[in-house]
């Protein structure tokens, strides 16, 4: 399998913004809500705390904060944006798209946009979708946001899921690259037969909201954790490997592995299968838990904070999520643009 022949300019990430709510939900807090322990959560998931919104805070609020930080960092106004793509499974409402709400909040007067529902792979689906518009030459500034308020759809009576998730948002700006830096290639997959293992049953057209759906707690995420775990470990490694191979690249040539943060044991298993040393892997799950569409931009931010993303670095991004969905992206880090950038 060879990568597609490229006839256009690459899209590169020129800015990054993040937002996580200040409010913390620690393992000790969860011990008071469900029958669990700090020790169980840390050893089985690697999570120590999560950031959660004040109840009633919509996802668009987090998106707007992350987007504004990305715009400020880049030193441009929102009116320069051509397109806004929001990856989320916790939209403010079913209609309109959260991208519309964000467009209005940040006053991106020229932009159009839409939402992508790819769960934990949503950000990588959105990133590669946004890149197509840049590579086609029709759009020059695309805002890609991954954001979720998982605390709105997590059942705090279900100890097997409520310990895993947190809230957060990350935003990047994509622009044409003047050189060969930027998104090199991507390989995504979908396996809809996995839907039953991780889903929120009600609220859509299959089970519209009713007293019954509320009574049966169908508006919360349900999952078969062990099955999802095994699928994720296998797919992280398998699809990443295929992407590297078709680009004639080996894990030794990759400088940084930025993966979805769902469970520390999944990250470590993927690391071992791909043969990366721990020094090449970004981890921040202890601080944020699984923020679904926000984990990868938040992890890119952590890598920048730690001085681990340098211009010219080859970076592998990977995610597995509900659907099932699998996303992998290979990119040559270009460094950010604008005021006071070091990354």
Ligand X SMILES: CC(C)(COP(=O)(O)OP(=O)(O)OC[C@H]1O[C@@H](n2cnc3c(N)ncnc32)[C@H](O)[C@@H]1OP(=O)(O)O)[C@@H](O)C(=O)NCCC(=O)NCCS
* Residues marked as catalytic: 120, 260, 290
Smaller CB separation from ligand X, 31 or 72:
31
* Residue 44 in contact with ligand X, rule: CB under 6 A: yes
Strands 83-87 and 142-149, sheet pairing: parallel
Token couple for 173 = 């700006």
Q: How far is residue 206's CA from residue 181's CA, in Å, rounded to a whole number?
A: 44
Closest approach of Cβ 183 to ligand X, in Å? 22
Among 263, 291, 302, 334, binds ligand X (CB under 6 A): 263
Closest approach of Cβ 232 to ligand X, in Å? 6
Stretch that binds ligand X, among 66-74, 225-233, 235-243, 251-259 (CB under 6 A): 225-233
Closest approach of Cβ 263 to ligand X, in Å? 4
* Residue 190 in contact with ligand X, rule: CB under 6 A: no
Continuous H helices in the chain? 27-31, 38-45, 59-74, 98-106, 122-135, 159-162, 211-215, 225-246, 264-274, 285-288, 295-305
Closest approach of Cβ 127 to ligand X, in Å? 17
Give the interface size with ligand X as a residue count (CB under 6 A).
21
Q: How far is CA 259 from CA 8, 71, 197, 280, in A?
A: 27, 24, 21, 11
Among 99, 120, 149, 309, binds ligand X (CB under 6 A): 120
* Residue 321 in contact with ligand X, rule: CB under 6 A: yes
Name 13's bridge partners: 174
Task: Map the footprint of ligand X across residues 76-115, applying CB under 6 A.
Answer: none
Best CA proximity match to 183, nearest among 116, 147, 130, 112: 130
Q: How far is residue 42's CA from residue 27's CA, in Å, rounded to a whole number?
A: 8
Closest approach of Cβ 338 to ligand X, in Å? 32
* Residue 228 in contact with ligand X, rule: CB under 6 A: yes
Q: How far is CA 204 from CA 124, 156, 191, 207, 217, in A?
A: 24, 21, 20, 6, 14
Closest approach of Cβ 295 to ligand X, in Å? 9
Smaller CB separation from ligand X, 21 or 327:
327
Backbone angles phi and psi of 189, in degrees to 5: -140, 165
* Residue 225 in contact with ligand X, rule: CB under 6 A: yes
Token couple for 81 = 């944006």
Residue with tokens 């397109």: 83
Q: How far is residue 317's CA from residue 236's CA, in Å, rounded to a whole number?
A: 10
* Residue 163 in contact with ligand X, rule: CB under 6 A: yes
User: Which residue, judged by CB position, is nearest to ligand X in the bound state?
Assistant: 225
* Residue 159 in contact with ligand X, rule: CB under 6 A: yes
* Residue 189 in contact with ligand X, rule: CB under 6 A: no
Among 23, 24, 31, 36, binds ligand X (CB under 6 A): 36
Smaller CB separation from ligand X, 81 or 296:
296
Q: How far is residue 333's CA from residue 343's CA, in Å, rounded to a whole number?
A: 9
Q: Which residues bind ligand X (CB under 6 A)?
A: 36, 40-41, 44-45, 120, 159-160, 163, 198, 223, 225-226, 228-229, 232, 262-263, 290, 320-321
């Amino acid at each position: 399998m060879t990568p597609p022949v490229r006839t256009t300019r690459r899209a590169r990430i020129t800015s990054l913004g993040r937002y996580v709510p200040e409010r913390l939900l620690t393992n000790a807090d969860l011990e008071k809500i469900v029958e669990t322990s700090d020790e169980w959560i840390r050893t089985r998931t690697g999570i120590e705390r999560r950031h959660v919104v004040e109840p009633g805070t919509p996802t668009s609020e987090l998106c707007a904060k992350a987007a504004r930080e990305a715009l400020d960092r880049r030193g441009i106004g929102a009116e320069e944006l051509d397109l806004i793509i929001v990856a989320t499974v916790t939209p403010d409402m079913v209609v309109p798209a959260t991208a519309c709400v964000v467009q209005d909040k940040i006053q991106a007067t020229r932009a159009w946009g839409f939402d992508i529902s790819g769960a934990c792979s949503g950000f990588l689906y959105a990133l590669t979708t946004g890149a197509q518009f840049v590579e086609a030459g029709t759009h020059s500034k695309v805002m890609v946001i991954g954001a979720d308020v998982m605390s709105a759809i997590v059942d705090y009576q279900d100890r097997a899921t409520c310990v895993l998730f947190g809230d957060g948002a990350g935003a990047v700006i994509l622009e044409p690259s003047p050189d060969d830096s930027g998104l090199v290639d991507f390989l995504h997959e979908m396996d809809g037969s996995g839907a039953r293992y991780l889903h929120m049953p009600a609220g859509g057209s299959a089970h519209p909201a009713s007293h019954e759906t509320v009574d049966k707690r169908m508006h919360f995420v349900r999952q078969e954790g062990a099955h999802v775990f095994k699928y994720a470990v296998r797919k992280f490694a398998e699809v990443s490997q295929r992407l590297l191979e078709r680009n004639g690249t080996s894990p030794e040539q990759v400088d940084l592995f930025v993966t979805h943060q769902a469970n520390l044991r999944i990250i470590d298993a993927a690391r071992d299968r791909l043969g990366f040393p721990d020094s090449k892997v970004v981890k921040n799950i202890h601080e944020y838990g699984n923020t679904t569409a926000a984990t990868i931009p938040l992890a890119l931010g952590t890598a920048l904070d730690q001085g681990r993303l340098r211009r010219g670095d080859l970076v592998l991004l990977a995610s597995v999520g509900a659907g099932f969905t699998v996303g992998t992206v290979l990119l040559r880090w270009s460094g950010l643009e604008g005021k006071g950038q070091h990354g």
